[in-house]
């Protein structure tokens, strides 16, 4: 016997009293089956995943939770409905399983240590966690939240970006000094006119669930009570247990953010609330010493040249005289000084940099400010 099911039971229909409930349950099971059985596009496989048989996957969310939120979103009105449904559909297409970052290759860590010799203490933290990851199967890397404290221009943000590259992860940079509200990070209920998903949700809507969040100038973030405290979102996100069930204010779907990597920078950690500080592993960072600067300069120079349209017009070797003119300036200023030097070199019709190409203002920068823990003497800089 064949019985047709209807969303709502008609009085004349000979169906059972719970037909509508049965249909709702059938729809839920079919949607759940669709999520769990869909053949998703293959994840980008790196050498680590190949070694581990491609098993470095974790669940970002529970498929049943996603079905419930999609049904909820369908009852929303207007543009809000379309915005939320689009986000949930994207999560559905990507699937509940996402890639997690495995431990970097040893040569990647060696290169970090070589290019950032003044950040060896941070690299040591990384090496310790890699040793721990090697006891895991697969060797998925977990890092504690890191707070890099030190003067501006020491390469703290550049280090975080290079670490993300080694992990094949995305970088989400958040300017804490200019952050007006935590809602832009954790989302705002769509019941409000400005309700939208936040940066954390956006960062997790990719095939990797190990983004690197860089919180620039955490010491300059506005702190207060309630919504006036823009750092309040860190209390839950920096704790692995609560981060496993993070809920964006607009989307409402619990997702696992516990594998995200958090790196904060500050010039002075004293203004940061003690409860926030206690969630970070703090590392002191200073300017490179003169003996460390050549490695830093070569790293900056390599990155500059690789991305330059004019790279084929020059020879890229930096001789000792050029390095000697650059070691006395902060790392942040090296990039601009090199660009100016190449422009001067081009004007002179040469292919190789000379010491005299380095801008005079850069070569005398040490006279105006201390570099790191030491006030260098211009008389010792061997300037022309």
232 shares its domain with 336: no
> Which pLDDT tens digit goes with each residue over 341-350?
999 999 999 9
Give me the chain's average pLDDT, please: 82
What is the residue whose two structure tokens read 């300037």? 383
- Please state the rounded mean pLDDT for residues 319-334: 91
Residue 172: inside a domain: yes
86 shares its domain with 126: no
Please, which residues bridge with residue 102 across strands? Answer: 140
Q: Which of 149, 152, 150, 173 is nearest to 161 (CA)?
A: 173
CB 66 within 8 A of CB 87: no
Residue 80: inside a domain: yes
Residue 263: inside a domain: yes
Task: Give the number of other CB atoms < 10 A from CB of residue 177.
Answer: 13
303 shares its domain with 370: yes
Among 57, 77, 97, residue at a domain's last position: 97
222 shares its domain with 127: yes
Among 267, 284, 301, residue at a domain's last position: 284
C-alpha 5/C-alpha 27 separation (Å) is 12
Identify the band that residue 229 occupies on the pLDDT scale cut at 50, 70 and 90: confident
144 shares its domain with 187: yes
Pairwise pLDDT comparison (129 vs 32), residue with the higher score: 129
Task: Give the number of other CB atoms < 10 A from CB of residue 328.
Answer: 21
Residue 16: inside a domain: no
Q: Where are the beta strands (DSSP E) in 112-152?
A: 146-149
133 shares its domain with 271: yes
> Which pLDDT tens digit goes with each residue over 272-314?
999 999 999 999 999 899 999 999 999 999 999 999 999 999 9
Residue 350: inside a domain: yes
Structure tokens at 202: 């956006």
132 shares its domain with 45: no
82 shares its domain with 120: no
Among 284, 314, 332, residue at a domain's last position: 284
Q: Which of 217, 255, 262 is nearest to 235 (CA)?
A: 262
> Which pLDDT tens digit goes with each residue over 95-132?
999 999 888 888 989 999 999 999 999 999 999 999 99
Residue 2: inside a domain: no
CB 108 within 8 A of CB 141: no
Residue 280: inside a domain: yes
Task: Give the number of other CB atoms < 10 A from CB of residue 283.
Answer: 18
27 shares its domain with 90: yes
> Which pLDDT tens digit goes with each residue over 102-111?
888 889 899 9
200 shares its domain with 57: no
CATH no. for residue 275?
3.40.50.300
Give the model's pLDDT for residue 12: 52
- Residue ranges making up the domain that contains 270: 106-284
Please, which residues bridge with residue 265 across strands? Answer: 148
CB 164 within 8 A of CB 212: yes
206 shares its domain with 327: no
Q: What total number of domains does the chain contain?
A: 3
Residue 13: inside a domain: no
Output the CA–CA distances (angstroms, integers) from residue 305 to 110, 115, 302, 335, 342, in the order listed: 21, 15, 5, 10, 10
Give the model's pLDDT for residue 366: 44
Give the model's pLDDT for residue 20: 54
194 shares its domain with 339: no
Q: Environment class of residue 296 by beta-carbon count within 10 Å: exposed (0-12), middle (13-18) or buried (19+)?
A: buried
Identify the band that residue 368 occupies on the pLDDT scale cut at 50, 70 and 90: very low
Intra-chain end-to-end CA distance of the chain, in Å: 100
pTM check: above 0.85:
no
């Amino acid at each position: 016997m064949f019985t047709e099911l209807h969303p709502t039971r008609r009085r004349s229909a000979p169906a059972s009293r719970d037909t509508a409930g049965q249909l709702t349950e059938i729809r839920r099971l079919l949607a759940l089956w669709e999520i769990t059985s869909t053949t998703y596009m293959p994840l980008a496989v790196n050498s680590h995943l190949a070694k581990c048989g491609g098993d470095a996957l974790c669940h970002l969310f529970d498929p049943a939770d996603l079905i419930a939120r999609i049904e909820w979103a369908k009852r929303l009105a207007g543009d809000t409905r379309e915005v939320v449904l689009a986000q949930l559909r994207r999560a559905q297409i990507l699937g509940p399983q996402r890639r997690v970052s495995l431990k970097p290759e040893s040569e990647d860590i060696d290169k970090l240590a070589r290019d950032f010799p003044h950040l060896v203490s941070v690299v040591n933290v990384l090496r310790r966690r890699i040793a721990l990851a090697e006891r895991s199967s697969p060797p998925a890397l977990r890092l504690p939240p890191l707070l890099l404290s030190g003067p501006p221009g020491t390469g703290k943000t550049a280090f975080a970006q290079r670490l993300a590259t080694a992990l094949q992860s995305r970088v989400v940079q958040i300017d804490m000094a200019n952050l007006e509200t935590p809602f832009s990070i954790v989302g705002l209920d769509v019941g409000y006119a400005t309700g939208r998903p936040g940066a954390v949700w956006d960062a997790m809507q990719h095939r990797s669930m190990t983004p690197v969040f860089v919180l620039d100038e955490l010491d300059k973030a506005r702190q207060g009570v309630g919504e006036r405290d823009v750092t309040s979102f860190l209390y839950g996100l920096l704790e692995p247990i609560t981060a496993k069930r993070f809920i964006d204010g607009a989307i409402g779907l619990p997702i696992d953010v516990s594998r995200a990597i958090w790196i904060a920078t500050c010039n002075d950690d004293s203004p940061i609330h003690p409860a926030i500080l206690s969630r970070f592993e703090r590392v002191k960072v200073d300017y490179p010493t003169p003996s460390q600067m050549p490695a830093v300069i070569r790293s900056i120079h390599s990155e500059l040249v690789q991305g330059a349209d004019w790279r084929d017009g020059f020879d890229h070797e930096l001789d000792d005289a050029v390095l000697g003119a650059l070691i006395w300036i902060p790392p942040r200023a090296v990039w601009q000084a090199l660009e100016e030097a190449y422009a001067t070199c081009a004007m002179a019709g040469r292919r190789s940099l000379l010491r005299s190409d380095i801008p005079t203002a850069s070569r005398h920068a040490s006279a105006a400010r201390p570099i790191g823990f030491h006030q260098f003497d211009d008389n010792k800089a061997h300037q022309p």
